[in-house]
Amino acid sequence: MDHALSTELRYLIYSGFLMLALWVPYILAELKMTGVLKALSYPDDRLLPKWGKRLKRAHYNLVENIAPFAIAVVAGELLNVHTAVTTTCATVFFWARLLHPLAQVTRIWGTRTITFGASVTATAVYLGEVLARAG
C-alpha cells in the first residue's frame, strides 16, 4: 500500500509545525520580562514587548484560520480531489501563513493584510475546488 503524502497534506502538516513553533519566541520573551516564577503563577499583569504582542496576535490568527484550511485539505484527501488548483492553494496558504507573522512583527505597510488575504483566498478557492470536483 502506497503511503505517499499529497502536496496538500504535506503543507497542512507544515502549517501544523508552524503553529507549534510560533508561540515559542513570545513565550520566551514573556518569561524574560515577567520572570519565570511570576509567569508560572498565572499573573494578570503579564509583560510582553511590542513585537511579542504582535507575534502572539499572528499566532492566534493562524489558530483561527487553520480550521477551514484543514477542512479543505481533509475533504480533498477523503474525496481524492488533487488538482493544480488544490496544490497551488495549499502552497500559497502555507507560505502566506509563514510570512504573516514576519509581516505582523516588522510592520511593513500592507504586508500583513496581503499575507492574510492570500491565505484566506487560498482557503476559499480550495474549498470551492473540492466542492466543484466532488460533484
Residue 76 in any domain: the answer is: yes
Residue 2 in any domain: the answer is: no
Q: For residue 117, which amino acid is it?
A: G
Q: Per-residue pLDDT for 1 more than 60?
A: no
Residue 1 in any domain: the answer is: no
Residue 50 in any domain: the answer is: yes
- 60-82 pLDDT, tens digit per residue, is 999 999 999 999 999 999 999 99
Domain holding 45, by residue range, is 7-134
Q: CATH number, domain at 62? A: 1.20.120.550
Residue 12 in any domain: the answer is: yes
Tell me the C-alpha distance between 135 and 133, whole Å: 5
Residue 93 in any domain: the answer is: yes
Tell me the C-alpha distance between 98 and 124, whole Å: 18
C-alpha closest to that of 100 among 75, 86, 118: 118
**Residue 44's pLDDT is what?**
80
**Residue 61's pLDDT is what?**
97
Mean pLDDT, rounded, of the chain? 94
What is the number of domains present in the chain?
1
CB-based burial label for 42 (10 Å; 0-12, 13-18, 19+): exposed
Tell me the C-alpha distance between 30 and 46, whole Å: 7
Tell me the C-alpha distance between 49 and 122, whole Å: 32
Residue 77 in any domain: the answer is: yes
